[in-house]
Amino acid sequence: MVLRSGAVAADHGLDALVELTGPDQAKALLAVEAKSAALTRDLTSMLEQVRSRLGRLSEPAEPMLVAPYLAPPARAWLEERGVSYADITGNIRIVLDRPALYLLDRGADRDPWRRPGRPRGDLRGPPAARVVRALADFFPPVTVPELVRRSGASTGATYRVVEYLEREALVDRTPRGPITAVAWRRMLRRWSEDYGFQRSNTVGRYLQPRGLPVLLDRLAAAPDLQYAVTGSLAARRLAPYADSLLALVYVDDAEAAVQHLDLRPVDSGANVLLAASDYDIVFERRVTFDGVEYAAPSQTAVDLLTGPGRSPAEAEALLDWMEAHEFDWRR
């Protein structure tokens, strides 16, 4: 690796030029753009600026962004576009065809230099969940006042979440106007970093000794029970992946659910997880199929993204289905 003259880079409006040489003497040039901060919403213009400068070089070069810290959404945005990056915490990804190079390492997922008073940088809590679900479940455009009514979150919480999603380039909004586009797949993935079926709820482990088909029959015969089936059992209706081995069910009354569903508490060998949730959004926009209430696809996808075993793979299959059938689940 050779760092070319800073004057050469500066002459072309770049912060640095790094030359990489492979064992076969094949060479690649990285055009480095250094930023003191890199918000996802600014990456489009940043990348366009760098690529415009690459045209001044006499040889091909690939853009690379470096910053003190790159948040997960920013890294995901760069990866989707094949842009190399690195930050001081150790997050790095450099991918080249020739010389063949794939360098990937992970550093911090939280900004170690975040100061008190800076805008909130997460999607934790029921209000954020309500806003995210409303943005995912309904087609844009939508104004923020309409989003307040649709989500049921407070005005202040809604504005805070929208501002955060704008910073992370997960929604597009006209100045002081409506939200015109939602990157719902990336937004759900981002939400899954702050919300999980098991870590965000009080979860009990149970055994239905006669198996999951009996569990579904009992749920269908429980009209007075407030519940929503999520996870594999919910996803298989839309994107079958494999036989479900574990049922994930939201309930508002765990004691009543255990009694009606004939469940036995266990320390190991559970085939049912019941979540008593403070997030009432999990019950909204449920889908009824064969008499059973299933969580909305957006909720199911996030629950699978944070689930055990093969759940993340099932989440990707469901998300692929959702992308191909938006008019079947969005309103």
Contact 254, 204 (CB under 8 A): yes
pLDDT digits (tens, 9 = 90+) for 144-153: 999 999 999 9
Considering the domain boundaries, does residue 261 fall inside one?
A: yes
Domain containing 156 — which CATH number?
Answer: 1.10.10.10
The CA-based dihedral angle spanning residues 239, 242, 245, 248, taken in that order and rounded to the nearest 10 degrees: -10
Pick from 105, 138, 173: which residue ends a domain?
A: 105
Where does a domain end: 169, 191, 213?
191
Using the predicted structure, report yes or no on whether residue 118 has a pLDDT greater than 60.
no
Let me know if 156 is exposed, middle or buried by CB neighbors in 10 A (0-12, 13-18, 19+): exposed
For the entire predicted model, the pTM comes to 0.77
- Please count the structural domains in the chain: 3
Do 132 and 66 lie in one domain? The reply is no
Asked if the model's pLDDT at residue 11 lies above 70, the reply is no
Please tell me the distance from the alpha carbon of residue 193 to that of residue 190, in angstroms, as a whole number. 5
**Three-state SS at 128:** helix
Same domain as 185, residue 209: no
Domain ranges, residue 39: 2-105
**What's the maximum distance between 2 C-alpha atoms anywhere in the chain?**
75
* Predicted pLDDT of residue 117: 47
112 falls within a domain: no
CATH (domain of 100): 3.40.1350
Q: Whole-angstrom Cα distance, residue 322 to residue 330?
A: 9
Residues 215 and 293 in one domain: yes
pLDDT band at 110 (very low <50, low <70, confident <90, very high): confident
DSSP 8-state symbol, 122: -
Q: Are residues 210 and 318 in the same domain?
A: yes
Q: What is the CATH number of the domain that holds 274?
A: 3.30.460
